[in-house]
Amino acid sequence: MSNNILRIGVIGVGRLGFHHARNIRRSEGAALTAVSDPFPEARERAAKEFGVQSYSSHADLIADPNVDALVIATPTQTHYEVLTAAIAGKKPIFCEKPITYTLEEAEKIVDSIEKDGVFLQVGFMRRFDPGHAAAKRMIEGGECGKPIYVHDCQRDPNGPPPAYVPQSGGIFVDMAIHDLDAARWLMGSEVVEIYAQGAVLKHEYLKELGDIDDGQILLTFASGALGMIEISRNANDVYDTRTEVVGLEKSVFVGQNQLTPYAIVGAGRIVVDMANWCLGRFKEGYELEMRAFIDAVRGNKPSPVTAYDGMVGLKLALAATESWRKAAPVKLTYRAGGSG
């Protein structure tokens, strides 16, 4: 670090990487010093907007002595390769979800991280959303009593671009991974059985791409608790995510119905607006996860969302995919010991 400012390079500056770059630029105690992207257009747009060094190759960015820490926001298929190089570079890493494309890759990354003692934080931004964070504090503080049920939905406003679908991992890996992570985190217990269904209900083009636009997942936790997750790409131009945990004494509900504190009244109706994309709903979550990354790295604190969390999230999403494909429940086991 220079002058105690954490100099960060962002690998992959598509929509989300660019958003992270902007949040880094705005964060105290940190500076954006480089970006990389194999696509010249993305790379040059970011270099111009932020006035920083740009590379076509992530290897060059990782090797840049003016880069203290890395943010990885490339397509998921490349995560394993980029993460491996980043871990070898011994620089602290923030990596978007899913941590890797396959479970085998994820397990190798977990092992490398643990062996090499590299810092890695996975991009489960909901954990930093003020609503989810308040719910977690309340559950951990005992105000709810033992958590016994989780009810969650996530609805995208529309179908994904067709070109994105093959690299997305499917709706369970692309979307439900957030809900699955939030569920196990809030419940404080691992999922031991998953049953999932799904269908194409709106976007016919997904059929030939082998994906669906609606999924429903049932969960059983090691604690005996149950849960239910609905995911869809059918929400008619709103982005709607809600998470509830029922405890033995109280329930806590995290939602977001109204975006702007503003209502139009007339003709017997009240009209309010609502977030229409994920980056709008979780604006603060994205800012605060980057804030947490910077603070943890500067302060030598442990990662708030570990590689193991990233691996388990992927494992659950893949189990949901498998359950959907074979139309039967899938049981999950976890290797013994520590965080793994």
Q: Which of residues 120-159 bind its own copies (CB under 8 A)?
A: 129-131, 134-135, 138, 143, 148-149, 151, 153, 155
Classify the phi-psi angles of 2: left when phi > 0, otherwise alpha if psi is within -120 to 50, otherwise beta: beta
* Residues between 278 and 297 that touch its own copies (CB under 8 A): none
Q: Which of left, alpha, beta for 175 (phi over 0: left; psi -120 to 50: alpha)?
A: alpha
How far separated are the first and last CA of the chain, in Å rounded?
31
* 3-state SS track over 52-63: CEEECCHHHHHH
53 touches its own copies by CB under 8 A: no
Looking at the Cβ atoms of 78 and 158, the one nearer to its own copies is 158
Is 65 exposed, middle or buried, given 0-12, 13-18 or 19+ CB atoms closer than 10 A?
exposed
Q: Which is nearer to its own copies, 59 or 238 (CB)?
A: 238
How far, rounded to the nearest angstrom, does the alpha carbon of residue 240 sit from its chain's CA centroid?
A: 16
Helical packing angle, 40-50 and 15-25, nearest 10°: 20
Is residue 51 a contact residue for its own copies (CB under 8 A)?
Answer: yes
Instruction: Determine, following the binding rule CB under 8 A, whether residue 1 of this chain makes contact with its own copies.
Output: no
Q: Is 261 in the site for its own copies (CB under 8 A)?
A: yes
- The residues in 84-123 that bind its own copies, with binding defined as CB under 8 A, are none
Q: Which is nearer to its own copies, 103 or 138 (CB)?
A: 138
Does the protein bind its own copies through residue 247 (CB under 8 A)? yes
From the list 10, 72, 118, 252, which residue makes contact with its own copies (rule: CB under 8 A)? 252
Nearest approach in angstroms of CB 92 to its own copies is: 22
List of residues 6+ apart from 138 with CB closer than 8 A: 144, 250, 252
Interface residue with its own copies, options 59, 103, 222, 274 (CB under 8 A): 274
Q: Which 205-224 positions form the footprint of its own copies (CB under 8 A)?
A: 214, 216, 218, 220, 224
